[in-house]
């Protein structure tokens, strides 16, 4: 199936105040919209695949850590960032925010 109609996009609250809506998922890539309420947080985590995120609206603090080397960045509308595979990262929502995230699921 090539078309993914908006009405068929599944949504789930993954953390308190964080809603993930899957926009499309293929064999090697996944794209999702995230809606974050101000003050919500995604706790530190990492995964075996690369992540690319663009901020559509709002403002977040993102902390990326590789072996104790932590970088804190503030992202606003139009900004994007990349998290390499196996890098620990977390998000703190500074104002209501919408992002589009893509993950490479390929091994």
Instruction: Using a cut of 0.95, tell me whether the model's pTM lies above it.
Output: no
Question: Is 67 within the bounds of a domain?
Answer: yes
Question: Is 76 within the bounds of a domain?
Answer: yes
Q: What is the CATH number of the domain that holds 92?
A: 2.60.120.10
> Which positions ≥6 away from 9 have C-beta within 8 Å?
21, 22, 23, 33
Cα–Cα distance between 45 and 86 in angstroms, integer? 9
What pLDDT, on the 0 to 100 scale, is given for residue 1?
Answer: 57
- Please state, as a whole number, how many other Cβ atoms lie within 10 Å of the Cβ of residue 101: 16
Residues 29-76 have pLDDT tens digits of: 999 999 999 999 999 999 999 999 999 999 999 999 988 899 999 999
Alpha carbon of residue 49 to chain centroid: 13
Question: Is 10 within the bounds of a domain?
Answer: no
Question: Is 15 within the bounds of a domain?
Answer: no
**Confidence grade of residue 107 (pLDDT, cut at 50, 70, 90):** low
């Amino acid at each position: 199936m090539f078309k993914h109609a908006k009405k068929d996009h599944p949504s789930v609250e993954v953390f308190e105040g964080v809603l993930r809506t899957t926009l499309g998922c293929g064999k090697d890539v996944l794209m999702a919209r995230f809606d974050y309420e101000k003050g919500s947080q995604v706790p530190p985590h990492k995964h075996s695949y690369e992540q690319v995120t663009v901020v559509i609206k709002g403002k977040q603090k993102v902390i990326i850590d590789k072996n104790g080397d932590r970088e804190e960045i503030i992202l606003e509308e139009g900004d994007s960032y990349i998290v390499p595979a196996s890098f620990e990262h977390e998000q703190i929502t500074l104002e209501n925010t919408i992002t589009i995230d893509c993950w490479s699921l390929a091994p």
